């Protein structure tokens, strides 16, 4: 007879590590009421409590921006490192090399950065890679920017403006294939709203931003790949549905990329 699973918590609310849910809290949030990041923070706290994680064995890493403030709001007894813009994946890689025993929780404004890290280092074997209102192809992103735009200048400063280097810094389809075959779930959500087209000139919703990469992935793994398309304003899928996304309930319309197929109708911005 198999042994019955141990309950997540005892009668006094302590988990298998002897900690209460409050032991996984952090500082009081300063983010806007209703912000999706707060919902994700609450989900992380609950998951850490139920998994009986030992905070001293966890490292939280982030970059810059509202999302990157969130590590202050959970697991206050864990290690933390707040890096500069877009550098969370690099810091996370360094931490992993230095100490493979730590559980890493990375928070980044850039879904592209997270996807790039995971696809270039599939040995990290994340359970899920979630990309919201971002892109998988840096060449496509740069091509939609005016030459003197601050983001264009930042990208060119890192890559020298070389198309080959932009491609090398993009999400690796071969890496995504390894992740998919190892059980990682890739979740890509983007908006095709008029606001998205106008504000980002199609950089997050044109054919090359996400859809083209997912079509390549479907061909490579020889099975359908799904994604989700919404009509939300930029950022609102996360703000309005953050907790649901963490729980595996994704907003918008599910679209399917079939092997040797075409881009699903309505999944890219027109023009």
Per-residue pLDDT for the chain (271 aa), expressed as one digit of tens each? 444 445 566 778 899 999 999 999 999 988 877 677 787 888 889 989 999 999 999 999 887 777 788 889 999 999 998 887 667 777 888 898 899 899 998 887 667 777 887 898 888 788 888 898 888 988 888 888 888 887 788 788 878 888 898 888 889 999 999 999 999 999 999 999 988 888 877 788 889 889 999 999 999 999 999 999 999 988 788 878 877 887 889 999 999 999 999 999 999 987 6
Cα→Cα distances 174→29, 111, 117, 227, 264, Å: 39, 18, 13, 18, 22
Residue 90 φ/ψ, nearest 5 degrees: -65, -45
Q: How many CB atoms lie within 10 A of CB 4?
A: 6
CA-nearest of 190, 187, 205 to 245 is 187
Convert the pLDDT of each residue in 78-110 to its tens digit: 999 888 766 777 788 889 889 989 999 888 766
3-state secondary structure 186-211: EEEEEECCHHHHHHHCCCCCCHHHHH
pLDDT of residue 192: 94
């Amino acid at each position: 007879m198999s042994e019955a699973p141990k309950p997540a918590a005892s009668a006094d609310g302590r988990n298998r590590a002897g900690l209460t849910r409050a032991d996984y809290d952090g500082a009081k949030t300063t983010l806007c009421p209703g912000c999706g990041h707060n919902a994700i923070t609450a989900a992380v706290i609950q998951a850490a409590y139920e998994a009986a994680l030992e905070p001293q064995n966890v490292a939280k890493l982030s970059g810059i921006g509202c999302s990157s403030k969130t590590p202050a709001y959970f697991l206050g007894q864990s290690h933390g490192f707040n890096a500069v813009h877009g550098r969370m994946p690099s810091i996370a890689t360094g931490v992993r090399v230095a100490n493979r025993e730590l559980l890493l929780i990375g928070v980044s404004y850039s879904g592209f950065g997270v996807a790039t890290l995971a696809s270039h280092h599939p040995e990290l074997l994340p359970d899920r890679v979630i990309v919201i209102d971002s892109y998988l192809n840096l060449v496509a992103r740069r091509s939609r920017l005016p030459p003197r735009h601050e983001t264009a200048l930042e990208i060119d400063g890192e890559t020298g403006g070389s198309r080959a280097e932009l491609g090398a810094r993009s999400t690796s389809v071969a890496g995504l294939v390894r992740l998919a075959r190892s059980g990682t779930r890739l979740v890509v959500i983007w908006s095709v709203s008029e606001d998205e087209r106008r504000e980002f000139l199609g950089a997050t919703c044109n054919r090359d931003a996400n859809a083209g990469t997912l079509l390549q992935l479907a061909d490579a793994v020889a099975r359908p790949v799904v994604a989700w398309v919404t009509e939300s304003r930029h950022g609102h899928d996360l703000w309005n549905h953050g907790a649901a996304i963490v729980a595996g309930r994704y907003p918008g319309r599910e679209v399917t990329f079939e092997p040797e197929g075409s881009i699903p109708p309505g999944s890219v911005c027109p023009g």
